[in-house]
Amino acid sequence: MGDLGYIALVGALALAVYAAGASLIGAWRLNGPLIASGRNAALGVTVLFTAASFTLLAAFVANDFSLRYVYDNSSRAMPMDMLMPAFYSGQRGSLLFWGWTLSIFTAIVLIQLRKPGAHSVFMPYVIAVLMLIEGFMALLLNVVGSPFERLPFTPPDGVGLNPLLYDEGMKIHPPMLLMGYMAWSVPFAFAVAALATGRLNSEWLRLSRRYALVAWTILGLGNLLGSWWAYRVLGWGGYWGWDPVENVALMPWLAGTAFIHSLQVQERRGMLKAWNVALILLTFYLSIFGTFVVRSGILASVHSFALSQIGPYFLGYLGFLIAGSVALFLWRLPRLREENHLDSAVSREGAFLLNNVLFLAVTFAIFWGTVYPLVAEALSNQKISVGVPYFNQVASPLFGALLLLMGIAPLVPWRKTTRAYLVRQFLPPVGTALLGTVAMLVAGMREPVPLVGFTICLFAGATVVVEFVRGVTARAHATGENLVLAFASLVRRNNRRYGGYTVHLAIALIGAGIVGSQAFQVQAQATLAPGQTMQVGAYSLTAQSLQTFPSAGGRTVEARLLVNGSGEAMRPQRVFFQNFDRQSSTRVAIRSTFREDLYIVLSAWDESGPVPKISIAAYVNPLVSWIWAGGLLFLIGSLAVMWPAPQPSVRTVRAAAPRGALVSA
């Protein structure tokens, strides 16, 4: 069965090369049939990647352990719902997944843009770029390591899936991250197409924006789901550890966030054309870098890089992409010379510029901290670690400044403004934030960092609420609709604006959750015999029992603890899987409320004595549920932004303009 997969991957490589070549030559020679042929070949690549992926899935279902990849990542005991995690758990499968999903994305783009139009001139180049990317993945899968590699004999059973991966979060966060990386290829392809054709007006940006938003949403969710998984499974009491793998997933999202903001300046004012192209190139490089880091382990040490087979390929490929696209960019730079004109630094444009500087600064700080151990080792042969304190100290002030800006920018109009107007705009949110500060002081909070942090989040959130209230009341006033209807039609008609505000509100929520859980986490450890009690924060935990029972694919060790002496029991577990006796999977017991999470980890146990002893690490994590609530709101807001705009129609404008309308001009 593996042979079919082999053939499909060789075919995908050949067809991708053909599609790229035919598209480029067709575009140069203005040869319509050749361009059409390239397009069809690109769709053929989708078919072949899909065939290869289904072959691998079928091999997993059939327990075909003659394939090394299936042998390494699955076993007969593996439940069927772990099929997809097994598929992308190893390097080869995840690269296949990456290429497969990109080929599907490519097909979607080609189908959406099948009718001739303003985009037609870009399409051959878009196809060529996407085929170069998919072709590279096919090359890796053919040359470096095929998921269809055969073992010399067929073992009776497989090694099994890594126990860490047995979790609900595993079914969704790795594919989201891989797709988040992959999806930035599409806006990148449009940017390169715009550079190649020299048509650098707003058309490419309009097309790019749509796909960039999809990539941005997927990658953002991937990051959130990843931290949700880490929080529930890794059992160290936190959700974000500034691990290299986390950092490289955050970086393209941050650079992409800069892009989706600055493109609005080009849409509105025609400024920043070159800058927007540069930003999307950067975001794509960071996505490839992320895929590469996740799949090569380079950042553990320079030496593991030498051992990693795909390391040199990825580095060479990244170099080729950067060199090629930067050369194109420099060649077209004269056409990107822009009429930049700023009426006032205190304007929405000015705020977006500052936003970009801050986003790039924080992206760079994270990049630098992530790669610096390698830099230091290469420069001075000295090993140093760059850990959590660095990232917290450098990134927190920058994120704080961004949150503050997020509260300010929506209140500042485009072009220029008057002082009186600004005062009127800022009074409600600033007043709310100050009231909140006073309330926190009265409640007895004295630590400066959370005080400032909460105040900023409150201000940013209040700005969104105030904007919503203004919009809804103005619309209700102008149209006579009731408030609910006014809200609905306001969002429907200005989905980009109010969807964006919803995302802002989500970020403010997440920010408050992070501030609260970082500043006020309480932690305690104890070793308890049944009947003994430990204290963590306001909770007392009484050990009850320790038991071991068989569970799916292995056995489970479970401790039982009573919270506050009441009937409520918490059951932290460790799960052992077949073939992984030395490695167990933590099942943290979490009792989550709006206010705080009680988080209990079974860290060790000892059954040698007459009574069992359990070692417990217990945490009280305030406001963590706010982060996940923010994640949900982030999804809602992003979907609202992406929702297709209503068809333009003739609208009747009533004589009475909404209040405050003319002041902003």
Facing residues of 592 across strands?
597
665 binds other proteins (CB under 8 A): yes
Determine contact, residues 118/108, Cβ cutoff 8 Å.
Answer: no
583 binds other proteins (CB under 8 A): yes
Query: Hey, what's the torsion of the CAs at 137, 635, 119, 336, to 10 degrees?
Result: -90
648 binds other proteins (CB under 8 A): no
Q: Which stretch binds other proteins (CB under 8 A): 150-158, 354-362, 561-569, 621-629?
A: 354-362
Closest approach of Cβ 9 to other proteins, in Å? 28
Residue labelled with tokens 């409600």: 428
579 binds other proteins (CB under 8 A): no
Q: Can you tell me whether residue 560 is helix, strand or coil?
A: strand
Binding other proteins by CB under 8 A: which of 77, 322, 354, 562? 354
Dihedrals φ, ψ of 643, to 5°?
-55, 135
User: Between 181 and 634, whose beta carbon lies closer to other proteins?
Assistant: 181
| Amino acid letter for position 626 | W
Closest approach of Cβ 394 to other proteins, in Å? 5
Binding other proteins by CB under 8 A: which of 61, 326, 333, 357? 357
User: Between 218 and 365, whose beta carbon lies closer to other proteins?
Assistant: 365
607 binds other proteins (CB under 8 A): no
40 binds other proteins (CB under 8 A): no
Binding other proteins by CB under 8 A: which of 150, 206, 210, 470? 470
609 binds other proteins (CB under 8 A): no
113 binds other proteins (CB under 8 A): no
# chain residues binding other proteins, by CB under 8 A: 82
Q: Comparing C-alpha atoms, which of 546, 658, 535 is closest to residue 598?
A: 535
Question: Where does residue 552 fall: left (phi above 0), alpha (psi -120 to 50 degrees), or beta otherwise?
Answer: beta
User: Between 9 and 278, whose beta carbon lies closer to other proteins?
Assistant: 278
- From the CB of residue 647, how many other CB atoms can be counted at a distance below 10 Å? 5
Distance from C-alpha of 348 to C-alpha of 350, rounded to nearest angstrom: 5
Binding other proteins by CB under 8 A: which of 4, 151, 245, 485? 245
337 binds other proteins (CB under 8 A): no
DSSP string, 449-510: HHHHHHHHHHHHHHHHHHHHHHHHHHHHHHH---HHHHHHHHHHHTHHHHHHHHHHHHHHHH
User: Between 145 and 658, whose beta carbon lies closer to other proteins?
Assistant: 658
603 binds other proteins (CB under 8 A): yes
Q: Comparing C-alpha atoms, which of 384, 386, 378, 381 is closest to residue 305?
A: 378
342 binds other proteins (CB under 8 A): yes
Closest approach of Cβ 605 to other proteins, in Å? 9
User: Between 16 and 299, whose beta carbon lies closer to other proteins?
Assistant: 299
Q: Which stretch binds other proteins (CB under 8 A): 25-33, 86-94, 364-372, 503-511?
A: 364-372
474 binds other proteins (CB under 8 A): yes
Binding other proteins by CB under 8 A: which of 308, 586, 625, 638? 586
Distance from C-alpha of 307 to C-alpha of 415, rounded to nearest angstrom: 55
251 binds other proteins (CB under 8 A): no
Binding other proteins by CB under 8 A: which of 495, 585, 621, 625? 585
User: Between 197 and 532, whose beta carbon lies closer to other proteins?
Assistant: 532
User: Between 115 and 383, whose beta carbon lies closer to other proteins?
Assistant: 383
Kindly state the tokens that stand for 373. Answer: 């151990």
Closest approach of Cβ 357 to other proteins, in Å? 4
DSSP string, 502-550: HHHHHHHHHHHHHHHHHHH-EEEEEEE-TT-EEEETTEEEEEEEEEEEE
User: Between 434 and 661, whose beta carbon lies closer to other proteins?
Assistant: 661
Closest approach of Cβ 345 to other proteins, in Å? 5
User: Between 188 and 229, whose beta carbon lies closer to other proteins?
Assistant: 229
Closest approach of Cβ 323 to other proteins, in Å? 23
Closest approach of Cβ 120 to other proteins, in Å? 29
650 binds other proteins (CB under 8 A): no
Determine contact, residues 147/141, Cβ cutoff 8 Å.
Answer: yes
Give how far Cα 243 sits from Cα of 138, 166, 285, 299, 417, Å: 29, 21, 20, 10, 44
Dihedrals φ, ψ of 90, to 5°?
-100, 170
| Termini Cα distance of the chain | 68
Q: Which stretch binds other proteins (CB under 8 A): 192-200, 278-286, 329-337, 369-377?
A: 369-377
Determine contact, residues 37/63, Cβ cutoff 8 Å.
Answer: no
Q: Which stretch binds other proteins (CB under 8 A): 86-94, 136-144, 318-326, 655-663?
A: 655-663
225 binds other proteins (CB under 8 A): no
Distance from C-alpha of 544 to C-alpha of 548, rounded to nearest angstrom: 14
Determine contact, residues 147/56, Cβ cutoff 8 Å.
Answer: yes
DSSP string, 274-342: HHHHHHHHHHHHHHHHHHHHHHH-GGG-HHHHHH-SHHHHHHHHHHHHHHHHHHHHHHHGGGG------
User: What residues numbered 80-109 form the site for other proteins, per CB under 8 A?
Assistant: none
Distance from C-alpha of 656 to C-alpha of 472, rounded to nearest angstrom: 16
Determine contact, residues 163/577, Cβ cutoff 8 Å.
Answer: yes
Determine contact, residues 618/600, Cβ cutoff 8 Å.
Answer: yes
Kindly state the tokens that stand for 465. Answer: 């609420």
User: Between 151 and 401, whose beta carbon lies closer to other proteins?
Assistant: 401
Closest approach of Cβ 190 to other proteins, in Å? 26
Q: Which stretch binds other proteins (CB under 8 A): 317-325, 412-420, 434-442, 443-451?
A: 412-420
User: What residues numbered 531-550 form the site for other proteins, per CB under 8 A?
Assistant: 534-535
606 binds other proteins (CB under 8 A): yes
Q: Annotate each residue in 280-319 with x if it binds other proteins (CB under 8 A) or - if it does not, as one string.
A: -------------------xx-------------------
Q: Can you tell me whether residue 357 is helix, strand or coil?
A: helix
Q: Which stretch binds other proteins (CB under 8 A): 138-146, 200-208, 427-435, 650-658?
A: 650-658
Q: Annotate each residue in 482-501 with x if it binds other proteins (CB under 8 A) or - if it does not, as one string.
A: ------------x--x----
User: Between 214 and 293, whose beta carbon lies closer to other proteins?
Assistant: 293
592 binds other proteins (CB under 8 A): no
Q: Which stretch binds other proteins (CB under 8 A): 204-212, 276-284, 378-386, 431-439?
A: 378-386
The sign of the CA dihedral 472, 476, 481, 482 is: positive
Please, what's the b/e burial string for 357-370 (b: 16 or more CB within 10 A of its CB; e: otherwise)? Answer: ebbebbbebbbebb
Sheet (strand 596-606) strand order = 522-528, 613-622, 596-606, 589-592
Q: Comparing C-alpha atoms, which of 656, 305, 645 is closest to residue 495?
A: 645
144 binds other proteins (CB under 8 A): no
Q: Which stretch binds other proteins (CB under 8 A): 6-14, 36-44, 106-114, 466-474?
A: 466-474
User: What residues numbered 513-532 form the site for other proteins, per CB under 8 A?
Assistant: 523-527
